Chains A and B, each alone.
Chain A
Amino acid sequence: MFRRFKPLWGKKPGLKSTYDAVIIGGGLHSLATAYYLAKEQGMSNVAILEKNFIGFGGAGRNTAIVRANQRTQENVPLYKEALDLWPILTKELDYNLMFNNCGNLNLMHSEAAMNAARMNVCTAQFHGVESHLLDPRQIKELEPAINISPDITYPIHGAMFHPPGGVIRHDAVVWGLAKGAAAHGVHIHQQTEATAIHTDGGKITGVETHRGRINSPRVLVSAGGYSAGIINKMMGVKLPISVLTIQAMVTQPLKPVLHHVVSSGMYHAYANQTLKGEIATGAHMDQWPNYTTLTTAHYIKHQAEALSEFLPFLRGVKFMRHWAGLADMTPDMAPIMDGNDPVEGFYMNCGWGYFGFKSCTAAGRHMASFIAKGECPERLKPFGLRRYENHRLMGETAALVTYTPDN
């Protein structure tokens, strides 16, 4: 218990002058990409550059909800792959990710919403993702804490129930992937800010950091909510992204009372009970782009009002901590994963909004294959940047809560 503290990801490596690939950002997608590059693609001469510390961004701030019931044919299989990877990674990384597959319950507050849920369930079932509809009586049996009274602002008409989803310890995923990546030879450089990307004749040649220049033929920008700003500043490529501050909070710990992840688009709130007993709850976003990651009294009030209606046992329970991070929102609520266009060796993985935790393992795995082989894997093809100019936006806005400055 009193042994000396030692980082899981080994000794601090020296910054080399040349790497086969450099990844900007030290979040979940970056760590997963590096892990799979080293483990499955035989490319271990890889550097992760992180301005602060790994897990500083969305990776350490999210509410750790995982599920695979997205809306469209292109997205569901990707998220399913990610969901199926958690138990595998727990073994592979030899690290307890604390996967609690308690199931997700999405409340519906109108017949129109139930019809939308019906279609969502069909898509899920078609892809082998367990998901079905519940009526209010079944909801009450499953989760007695939910208020199904018709006498609330938005009475509950039913729910979409997705049993295989749940929550995972997000810090454990950061630490586990860092441990795994480092064990396979990846260099994780914390307190190392990327300041420029170098190109020559349409090809990537390296990255500038405040600690010096690194030569590399491949650069991936995978810096969560910071990616779009970085890509515009360093590559002059604009993205269809709006960066919003998104907030979350936890209550004081309670005895076990809430057994699923419960969410409501209408009340604009979701909640689940952590293994420590706190009710973790979130959803609110600022409606204008900003990088402040500041919390607001406005939101505490909203959350208290919403939760005390559909989860009335929370009336009088105190909020204990409240924080915020960034969500990089695209107009179709689907991410952008692309590479070698227009610059050879330049890759990007961003636009995950508030879906970037649940997806990180599968996205990282495919990005690793993309970077190592230089060819876009089938699964990622629909996620290219050019879909916007080709008017091939994805229909993910129909899944659950849409929240962008455009609506």
Chain B
Amino acid sequence: MALTITCPVCGKRNGYEFRYGGEDKGPRPVEEGMTPRSWCDYVHMNACVAGVQKEWWCHKNGCGAWFTIHRNTLTNLEVEGVEVTS
């Protein structure tokens, strides 16, 4: 469905200008003591939340900035200032 995303630099724009960058999984795991499993978790595994999630976007056809937003995956609407619970 149609989607708008708010870029911190350019403001609210048509979603097709952006590239989805994945669920926010926190910082990249430290190399020290890393196992194939922890790396796999970071690279491949998703929560697939049906609800609000924190996620990365890149303003690909715009200023090029990378940033996170909160979006409800059931409605495609951005949500401001929420705490993600799941």
The interface of chain A, by Cβ under 8 A from chain B, is: 226, 228-229, 232-233, 238-243, 245, 286-292, 294-298, 328, 331, 388-391, 405-406
Our pick among B15, B46, B49, B75 for the contact of A288 (Cβ within 8 Å) is B15
The docked-state distance in angstroms from the alpha carbon of A226 to that of B49 is: 10
Show 24 residue pairs from A and B whose CB-CB distance is below 8 angstroms, ordered by the A residue.
A229-B48, A232-B47, A232-B48, A238-B41, A238-B45, A238-B48, A240-B44, A240-B46, A241-B46, A245-B1, A286-B3, A287-B20, A288-B3, A288-B15, A288-B20, A289-B20, A290-B76, A292-B74, A292-B76, A294-B76, A296-B2, A388-B40, A389-B40, A391-B36
The docked-state distance in angstroms from the alpha carbon of A148 to that of B86 is: 52
Residues of B within 8 A of A245 (CB): 1
Return the CB mask of B60-86 against A: 1 if under 8 Å, else 0: 000000000000011110000000001
Residues of A within 8 A of B44 (CB): 240, 331, 388
**11 further interface pairs, Cβ-Cβ under 8 Å (given A288-B3, A389-B37):** A228-B46, A232-B47, A232-B48, A233-B86, A238-B45, A238-B47, A289-B73, A291-B74, A292-B74, A292-B76, A298-B2
B73 touches A291 (CB 8 A): yes
Our pick among A232, A233, A241, A290 for the contact of B1 (Cβ within 8 Å) is A290
Query: Counting CB contacts under 8 A, is B50 at the interface?
Result: yes
Return the CB mask of B1-41 against A: 1 if under 8 Å, else 0: 11100000000000110011010000000000000110111
Residues of B within 8 A of A297 (CB): 2
Query: Given A238-B46, A242-B46, are A287 and B19 neighbors across the interface (CB < 8 Å)?
Result: yes
Residues of A within 8 A of B73 (CB): 243, 289-292
Residues of A within 8 A of B15 (CB): 288
A405 touches B20 (CB 8 A): yes
Closest-CB distance, B12 to chain A (whole angstroms): 16
Residues of B within 8 A of A298 (CB): 2, 16
The docked-state distance in angstroms from the alpha carbon of A310 to that of B38 is: 46
Residues of A within 8 A of B74 (CB): 290-292
Closest-CB distance, B79 to chain A (whole angstroms): 13
Residues of B within 8 A of A331 (CB): 44
B48 touches A241 (CB 8 A): yes
The docked-state distance in angstroms from the alpha carbon of A290 to that of B49 is: 9
B1 touches A243 (CB 8 A): no
B45 touches A405 (CB 8 A): no
Closest-CB distance, B66 to chain A (whole angstroms): 15
A390 touches B48 (CB 8 A): no
Query: Given A287-B19, A294-B1, are A229 and B40 neighbors across the interface (CB < 8 Å)?
Result: no
